[in-house]
């Protein structure tokens, strides 16, 4: 089963502007998200010769990358620029590193140009603090985006309280209005120290895709889709320039589908 719910009437020719796709389970969800990942990147490369993506960690994000590895389509990997939405400020070989997980799932198996892959610095890297690492990544993003334009695709997972990247509710990160990247301390889930893109950076994305599974996230999905304040539910502020797509499973759609059924009665 796969349902598509239009959030608004405005549609693009190839990618609907604001949609929710509901799939039976995590595997079908990952298949659909991978298909969209490939389609957005291939379309961008057809238009401009290169493309850019911001990756996420978490089980849903990594499962997506494994699916792309299995069916990479027509992506020109040598002309793909790769960024990360957030990173745990831990040593480079730590299994908690989003970069390491992404490499094991996909990046080490495709012919990327290493000069076009931009991980966030590890704690044993050149910067002595997450603030320094955040400032360096912010400068890099500004340079990259000024040169090539907006990120083509930002992939996001979501936590049960609605956090995306390392942007948690009622935190300085979610309230940041200017800086593209910030240091995050005392995260509610370990590891506690991180470097994260902010909503202003997410808003520099042509297409945003939120990949979410599980009943424990259903309330946050419904709140975000129905227009909650990003301060309360950060994922509500994850909006792309051209499209915003929620790719979710039935469990994560539970509260959203109840809301829709109530409206139709």
Asked if 157 contacts 147 with a C-beta cutoff of 8 angstroms, the reply is no
Residue 1 counted as domain residue: no
Residue 259 counted as domain residue: no
What pLDDT digit, counting tens, does each position of 2-48 carry?
A: 555 544 434 345 666 789 999 999 999 999 999 999 999 999 999 99
Residue 258 counted as domain residue: no
Residues in the chain: 265
Number of domains the chain is built from: 1
pLDDT of residue 9: 37
Give the separation between CA 163 and CA 157, rounded to whole angstroms: 8
CATH number for the domain harbouring residue 57: 3.40.50.1360
What pLDDT digit, counting tens, does each position of 101-130 carry?
A: 999 999 999 999 999 999 999 999 999 999
Q: Within a 13 Å sphere around the CA of 248, how many CA atoms are in the beta-carbon half?
A: 30
Give the separation between CA 214 and CA 265, rounded to whole angstroms: 26
Residue 260 has pLDDT above 70, yes or no: no
Residue 11 counted as domain residue: no
Q: If you average pLDDT over residues 154-181, what whole number do you get?
A: 98
What pLDDT digit, counting tens, does each position of 52-103 carry?
A: 999 999 999 999 999 999 999 999 999 999 999 999 999 999 999 999 999 9
Average pLDDT, the chain: 92
pLDDT of residue 99: 98
- Segments forming the whole domain that contains residue 49: 16-252
Residue 5 counted as domain residue: no
Residue 105 contacts by C-beta under 8 Å, 6 or more apart in sequence? 62, 65, 66, 69
């Amino acid at each position: 089963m796969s349902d598509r719910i239009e959030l608004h009437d405005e549609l693009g020719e190839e990618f609907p502007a604001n949609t929710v796709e509901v799939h039976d389970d995590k595997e079908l969800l990952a298949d659909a998200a991978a298909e969209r990942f490939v389609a957005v990147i291939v379309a961008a490369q057809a238009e401009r010769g290169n493309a850019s993506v911001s990756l996420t960690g978490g089980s849903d994000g990594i499962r997506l990358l494994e699916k792309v590895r299995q069916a990479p389509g027509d992506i020109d990997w040598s002309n793909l620029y790769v960024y990360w939405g957030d990173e745990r400020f831990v040593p480079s070989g730590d299994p908690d590193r989003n970069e390491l997980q992404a490499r094991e799932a996909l990046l080490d198996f495709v012919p990327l140009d290493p000069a076009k892959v931009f991980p966030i610095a590890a704690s044993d890297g050149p910067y002595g603090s997450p603030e320094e690492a955040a400032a360096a990544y912010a400068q890099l993003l500004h340079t990259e985006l000024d040169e090539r334009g907006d990120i083509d695709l930002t992939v996001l997972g979501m936590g049960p309280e609605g956090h995306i990247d390392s942007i948690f509710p009622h935190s300085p990160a979610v309230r940041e209005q200017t800086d593209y990247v910030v240091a995050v301390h005392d995260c509610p889930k370990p590891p506690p120290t991180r470097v994260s893109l902010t909503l202003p950076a997410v808003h520099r994305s042509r297409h945003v895709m939120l990949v979410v599974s599980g009943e424990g996230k259903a309330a946050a999905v419904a709140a975000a889709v129905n227009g909650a304040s990003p301060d309360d539910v950060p994922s509500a502020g994850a909006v792309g320039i051209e499209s915003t797509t929620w790719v979710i499973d039935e469990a994560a759609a539970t509260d959203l589908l109840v809301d829709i059924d109530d409206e139709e009665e």
